[in-house]
Amino acid sequence: MTKETVQELARRFFEEIVKDRRHLHQHPELSFQETLTAQYISTRLSAFGIEHQTGIGGNGIVALIQGKNPDKHIVALRADMDALPIQEANETPYKSVNPGVMHACGHDVHSASLLGAARILHSLRDQFEGTVKCIFQPGEELLPGGASIMIKEGVLENPAPAGIFGQHVHPSLPAGTVGFRPGMFMASTDELYVRVKGRGGHGAMPHEGVDPIVLTAQIIVALQQLVSRIADPVVPTVLTFGKIQSDGGATNIIPGEVYLEGTFRTMDENWRREAHVRMKKIAEGIAEAYGGSCEFDIHHGYPALINEPKLTRRARAAAIEYLGKEHVIDLPPRMTAEDFAYYSQVIPACFYRLGTANPEGGTNSPVHTPTFDIDESALEIGAGLMAWTALQELHH
């Protein structure tokens, strides 16, 4: 089997892959609400003659593409299905028909690409040995993440893949290119909810109260030293508070409480656990030292995403063979997060990026924005490269 065989099938199925993507884009559904999305994907898989199981982790779907000697080697491909609570601003024939819901992170692209890859692989099932497990996953955008739920329900068992690949749109890369990063690639993400309690009073007599605004200021500054002076400088670490509000106050009124929300991100799970303890201790200690108190709640999010180096190097080599070296980019680490990380904690994993931009055509808006869209020529690569990568890994 040659890359030309896969490329020809990707071209042949391209128009239908575009139709699938446009249908999914036009009918987006929020995390863990992807009922109609799952029904559509199931219908398409059935039309291709691909056996599959539905209802895993809620709306998740697993399809098995079995070649000859199906137990010889098993690899997995994953796509997510959910959309975001964003009102679409694009004016296209496939604009979202669901108010306030939009595929602004490209999960429609991921699912359509995996449908295309599954169809390609199914067409070639008499020409390879092993099994490709295609995972259509709900709820990537919302904790606890659909990946964690599907894993608990056995998606990485019966049969158990030796490795897994995931693909994500990347609007800063031009369509026709893909990007890879072995090792540490994306950060863990934890949500911080902090309540600093003091004792309100008159702004002219601060000594009669406990000013939670001053306490909060000291806590924020002290916690930033966790990043600059306690964290190992070679371990990427970010601490950001994006929301601060008090329960009242005015120019001459000291409020009783201040509420903060933030995010903590890193790429080292041991440091992540240590930082959680230190953050709470620092914040609570400062508040107590000045007569106040602090409630510091950490909502554990996704772990760090680690691309297994050998698997990622093989995937990168497959991409170079499929696209040419000039179309394969080496990417820097990112402090954004992805629940694909859960798979990378269990089995060798590779999460790579699909270029989707066409600045001249107006498709270069970032993800999670109301104007995000793609150059749909990327779908031919999105489907074909996933299939080719799986086939190359089966032959490894």
The string of DSSP letters for 326-384 reads GGEEEPPPBS---TTHHHHTTS-EEEEEEEEEBGGGTB-PPTTSTT----TTHHHHHHH
Q: Is 312 in contact with 328 (CB distance < 8 Å)?
A: no
Q: What is the pLDDT of residue 270?
A: 96
Q: What is the pLDDT of residue 396?
A: 84
- For 190-299, the fitting CATH number among 1.10.357.10, 2.10.210.10, 3.30.70.360, 3.60.20.10 is 3.30.70.360
Q: What is the pLDDT of residue 220?
A: 98
Q: What is the pLDDT of residue 102?
A: 98
User: What ranges do the domains of the chain cover?
Assistant: 3-185+305-394, 190-299
Q: What one-letter code names the amino acid at 291?
A: G
Averaged over successive runs of 10 residues, the pLDDT of the chain (396 residues) comes to 95 98 98 98 98 97 97 97 98 97 98 98 97 98 97 97 98 97 97 98 96 97 96 96 95 97 97 98 98 98 97 98 98 97 97 95 92 97 98 94
Q: Which pairing describes strands 328-330 and 178-180: parallel, antiparallel, or unpaired?
A: parallel
Report residue 171 as tokens.
């609007």
Q: What is the pLDDT of residue 193?
A: 98
Report residue 172 as tokens.
């800063």
Q: What is the pLDDT of residue 1?
A: 77
- H-only helix segments in 27-71: 35-48
Q: Is 312 in contact with 301 (CB distance < 8 Å)?
A: no
| Strands, E assignment, 91-225 | 131-137, 163-174, 178-180, 183-186, 190-197, 201-202
By the 10 Å C-beta count (0-12 exposed, 13-18 middle, 19+ buried), 50 is classed as: buried
Catalytic residues: 82, 140
| CATH fold for domain 3-185+305-394 | Aminopeptidase (3.40.630)
Q: Cα 49 from chain centroid?
A: 29
SS3 53: strand
Q: What is the pLDDT of residue 54?
A: 98
Report residue 129 as tokens.
């040995």
The total number of residues written for the chain in this structure = 396
Bond into 159 cis (ω within 30): yes
